[in-house]
Amino acid sequence: MPKNPAYLILLGPPMSGKGTQASHLIEQLGIPQVSSGDLFRENIKNQTRLGLEAKDYIDRGDLVPDQVTIGMVEDRLNREDCAAGALLDGFPRTIFQAEALDGILAELGASLSGVISVDVPEDVLVERASGRRICRLCGQSYNLTSNPPQKDGICDLDGGELYQREDDKPGTVRQRLAVYQAQTSPLIEFYRSRGILKEINGDKPIGDVGKDIAAVIAGL
Ligand code: AMP
């Protein structure tokens, strides 16, 4: 197990399964999942100023500007439940954000324990996006082919209605993947050169990927 506090990043393209894996791992790790995408969606749902500012970027498949994103994640990491660490999912997504994260962690007297990069071929990602459905109530994610709910359109956990995210529709998915290639994929080299990158094949059944990630984390 990584030393305490353990700040870990799950890095990977949209639809690589980072969010699903993170939500399974937090129980084992005893640290919260900090997902920038979830934080934005929560702000949009609650119609906060930050949510209104972020919405147009998200609907287009673009990144929300760094300053807005960094401020939001910094606030989250300063909450008490992150004192023992956090599993970051969807952040950082640019080199600028990665450098800002170093500063935020330094202020907390901490540093990154490891970065797990989940790799999935692009055609698989596009296919996954078209089948992804999310619960309106709890945010649980399903896939119509690989991880379907027991009842069509209904969340197994709380009976909430399942919906397709606006930004999972085909045109926006292609934009999100292009943005990932241009702005986020350089982080792989950034963290590899620091010797803290662990690479995982994400093109396997959810449970197998989860086991691989858990094994990597156990060895940190
Ligand atoms: P996700 O749920 O992680 O796929 O994020 C959904 C959308 O939220 C992304 O397509 C971006 O528009 C925005 N977003 C999430 N995380 C970040 C980030 N770290 N930097 C900028 N934009 C982000």
Q: Which atom of ligand 1 is nearest to the CA of 61?
A: 10
Q: Are 126 and 173 in contact (CB under 8 A)?
A: yes
Tally of structural domains, the chain: 1
pLDDT in tens, 38-64: 999 999 999 999 999 999 999 999 999
Would residue 151 show up in a list of annotated catalytic residues for this protein? Answer: no
Residue pLDDT tens, the chain, 220 long = 566 779 999 999 999 999 889 988 998 899 999 999 999 999 999 999 999 999 999 999 999 999 999 999 999 999 999 999 999 999 999 999 999 999 999 999 999 999 999 999 998 998 888 899 999 999 899 999 888 999 999 999 999 999 999 899 888 999 999 999 999 999 999 999 999 999 999 999 989 999 999 999 999 8
The active-site residue, picked from 41, 76, 93, 198, is 93
Question: Is 128 within the bounds of a domain?
Answer: no
What are the residues whose beta carbons fall under 8 Å from the beta carbon of 71, sequence distance 6 or more? none
* Pairs from 214-218 (Cβ < 8 Å, separation ≥ 24): 214/25, 214/28, 216/114, 216/116, 217/1, 217/2, 217/8, 217/25, 217/29, 217/114, 217/116, 218/1
Say which amino acid occupies 85.
G
Considering only CA atoms, which residue is closest to atom 19 of ligand 1? 91
Question: Is 43 within the bounds of a domain?
Answer: yes
201-to-118, 121, 178, 193 alpha-carbon distances in Å? 6, 10, 20, 20
Question: Is 191 within the bounds of a domain?
Answer: yes
Output phi, psi for 54, to 5 deg. -85, -25
Q: What is the model's pLDDT at position 5? A: 75
Question: Is 167 within the bounds of a domain?
Answer: no
Q: What is the model's pLDDT at position 27? A: 86
Q: Is 134 left (phi over 0), alpha (psi -120 to 50) or beta?
A: beta
Distance CA 48, CA 63 (A): 18
CATH number of the CATH domain containing 184: 3.40.50.300
Question: Is 155 within the bounds of a domain?
Answer: no
Q: What is the model's pLDDT at position 183? A: 98
Mutation to probe ligand 1, out of 20, 23, 34, 36 (largest number of atoms < 8 A from CB): 36
Domain that holds residue 55: 6-121+178-218
Q: What is the model's pLDDT at position 73? A: 98
